[in-house]
Structure 1
Amino acid sequence: MMSAIKEELAAFIAAHTSDDFVMTPITMREASLHTALGQELPKVAMARVVDTVLEGCDVYDVPIRIYIPDASRPLPVLIYYHGGGFAIDTVSVYDPVCRRIAQATQHIVISPEYRLAPENPYPAAYEDALAVAQRALPKLDELQLAHTDDLTLCGDSAGGCMAAQTSQALQHDASVPLTHQILVYPCLDMTHSFPSVKENCNTKTGFTPAKMRWYFNQCFRAGDDRRQASPLFGELSKDMPATLVLTTQFCPFRDEGRDYVRRLQELGVRAETYNYDNMVHSYLNFEKLCYDEICDTYRRMADFLQH
């Protein structure tokens, strides 16, 4: 029931929704940056933060930021693809999130500045996501940053989609030591065929039908096969990495996340899911309003990666 939604978060979203707001890449990016700055708490200190570029990518040399929570020992590696509907947000917007994940999981976290739509529509983000996963560990070696051969792909929303798509592309590739993936309220079905899309696209959740259409129209062009672009309908096999999917009750993508876990479990893949009953899509970016839930999210990530 909608009455179960976290009241403070719903009120904040309602206050930042207006009928005269025009959605463009400029206004949506500005609004997201304004929210990020307003929600930011003191940043978690890292032993080292490195900004560099992955040269030699097939299409685009992807800038990355590397977060190292402990430089005294080799650590496993986690690539975090940020959310933003393929059209907004940046490494800097997600800097606090990546620091918290690095601290909680004791992983080196790599955050890529992948190309955004509409300037770079589908499949640009997918191409960049795969290139980063293939080149991340060699780049750490080049920089003489100690790591173990243990790679996790992680992301929220569109970033969760990118992580899932990349895991599928690498599931039979023994040259990449992919062990886990963590998807936070991921969009996995670009055809929007599950009931939670209709149920949770409204002003109360902050994810209106108009906003849904806007995001996906930035990414996809006429003629693109959205089903083919959907990780939920792509190849899944027993070779997929161990998977954790975190969903929220009031997220349009809740049902597809659950179905993705079900399909993996049927193949014998270790796949787990947890649903936050009172949360909406994008809660991870509301640190002041959802601090307890966000801390619990990072704890669940860390617990999952220990096995």
Structure 2
Amino acid sequence: MKNAYYSINDAQTLPKVSEEARSFINSLPENFALLQKKALEDAMAGNLENLDKIRLGRIVPIPDRSDVFHIIAKVNFGVEERKLYIFIPKEIDKDLRVVVYYHGGGWCINAPESCSMFCQDIAANTKSVVVCPEYRLAPENKYPAANLDAVSTVEWVKKNISNSSGLKIFLAGDSAGGHLAASTALHFKDSVDGVIMFYPALDLSLGRRRKSWGDFAKGHCLDADLMETFIKAYLPNEAASQNEDASPLLARDLKGFPNSLIISAQCDILRDEALEFASRLAEFGINVRYRCIEGATHLFITKPEMKEAYCNALSEASEFVLKNSE
């Protein structure tokens, strides 16, 4: 009998933005999505000034904590020097595990600092080392640059972090980072121990938009037209969207995909493709747990203002890592 933990549970109520999510949305600057879209369009035309300002504004200080410290390693993946942010809990289990976490931001913005809250919390909760790469960003570095850096990070972990009793490796990420976690899992398949995807982008082909894409197209933290612009900035052309590492949902063969946890936001344009991917994994006999957080919108994993959704997701992720470390 299949483990009851692995199940697909969609939201049980009609979509309604929660109070905490609504409060967060109302706190966003005017034209939040439009300003990002315009900056991306300017960058694709060769003017990076406004995009660089947005990027700089997203780099927040990493909180000082007594239970988790961090170091920054400089590595060369064969193209240029990159940084790996490594979060180390004060207490580490003898059976060492590493969570490789890919930050979100539409492949174009954000940095490891933007997801440091989650990296520290998952490190403390599971006594795991967390490695978060500073992968190359688009539009300066289009697909497959970020994907190659994502794979190189796991290769670096395998080479540089070891344990006598065997190393457990988990891949995780939010939004575009969830996409990179899924893409990297397709590359490694049987050689990683689990994948955690928070509201991931899984199908980048422009002709395959699902119902949630229209239902939450505006005013839910990630506008549909902004997401379209992210995709155009990331991909060199529409044909590239058919590649499985660009659109993991289109992968023909999911056999050997690692045990997976997929957490979606109920009021989010990417919700339906997350559910569809969970269903496809289950069809291939993969252990997958899918949870849709009711009332949540995009961004909750990196924004402390959406505390209830964040805590639910952190609890799910912590349980998943510990369960798959047994």
Q: TM-score range by the shorter chain?
A: 0.7 to 0.9
Q: Could you list the structure 1 runs, at least 4 aligned residues long, displaced by more than 4 angstroms after superposition.
A: 25-37, 40-43, 145-148
CA distance in 2, matches of 1:147, 1:98: 24
Given candidates 189, 195, 198, the residue that maps to 2:211 is 195
CA distance in 1, matches of 2:277, 2:183: 12
Given candidates 211, 230, 251, the residue that maps to 2:226 is 211
Q: Who is 1:166 aligned against? A: 184
Unaligned runs of 5+ in 1: none
Alignment of 1:1-307 (within 5 A): 4-19=16-31, 21=35, 23-25=38-40, 27=50, 30-31=53-54, 34=57, 37=60, 43-55=64-76, 57-70=77-90, 73-74=93-94, 75-141=96-162, 148-171=166-189, 177-191=191-205, 192-203=208-219, 205-228=220-243, 229-287=246-304, 289-307=305-323
**Contact 2:195 2:259 (8 Å CA) reproduced:** yes
CA distance in 2, matches of 1:9, 1:146: 45
Task: Name the CA shift for 1:213/1:246 in 2 (closer, same or farther; >3 Å).
Answer: same
Superposed CA deviations along residues 223-251 of structure 1, whole A, max 9, x for unmatched, are: 54212220011243331110000001111
Tell me the CA shift for residue 302 of structure 1.
1.3
**Contact 2:171 2:196 (8 Å CA) reproduced:** yes
**Contact 1:105 1:301 (8 Å CA) reproduced:** no
Task: Name the CA shift for 1:72/1:135 in 2 (closer, same or farther; >3 Å).
Answer: closer
**Contact 2:17 2:297 (8 Å CA) reproduced:** yes
CA distance in 1, matches of 2:67, 2:52: 27
CA distance in 2, matches of 1:189, 1:72: 37
Tell me the CA shift for residue 147 of structure 1.
8.3
**Contact 1:199 1:252 (8 Å CA) reproduced:** yes
Aligned residue pairs: how many? 295
Which residue identity lines up with residue 200 of structure 2 in the other structure?
P
CA distance in 2, matches of 1:128, 1:93: 18
- More moved, 293-302 vs 209-218: 209-218
CA distance in 2, matches of 1:16, 1:66: 30
Tell me the CA shift for residue 72 of structure 1.
5.4
Tell me the CA shift for residue 3 of structure 1.
7.2
Unaligned runs of 5+ in 2: 1-12, 41-48
Tell me the CA shift for residue 49 of structure 1.
1.8
Which residue identity lines up with residue 242 of structure 1 in the other structure?
N
Task: Name the CA shift for 1:212/1:48 in 2 (closer, same or farther; >3 Å).
Answer: closer
Tell me the CA shift for residue 111 of structure 1.
0.5
Tell me the CA shift for residue 41 of structure 1.
9.7
Task: Name the CA shift for 1:238/1:115 in 2 (closer, same or farther; >3 Å).
Answer: same
Task: Name the CA shift for 1:262/1:43 in 2 (closer, same or farther; >3 Å).
Answer: farther
**Larger RCO, structures 1/2 (Cα 8 Å, 6+ apart):** 2
Task: Name the CA shift for 1:296/1:238 in 2 (closer, same or farther; >3 Å).
Answer: same
Superposed CA deviations along residues 30-68 of structure 1, whole A, max 9, x for unmatched, are: 45765775xx8955434542211233x344443201111
**Contact 1:236 1:264 (8 Å CA) reproduced:** no
**Contact 1:17 1:206 (8 Å CA) reproduced:** no
Which residue identity lines up with residue 203 of structure 2 in the other structure?
D
TM-score of the aligned structures, taking structure 1 as reference length: 0.86
Which residue identity lines up with residue 153 of structure 1 in the other structure?
L
CA distance in 2, matches of 1:69, 1:221: 39
**Contact 2:249 2:277 (8 Å CA) reproduced:** yes
CA distance in 2, matches of 1:253, 1:151: 26
**Contact 1:4 1:278 (8 Å CA) reproduced:** yes
CA distance in 2, matches of 1:92, 1:29: 16
**Contact 1:45 1:99 (8 Å CA) reproduced:** no
Tell me the CA shift for residue 77 of structure 1.
0.6
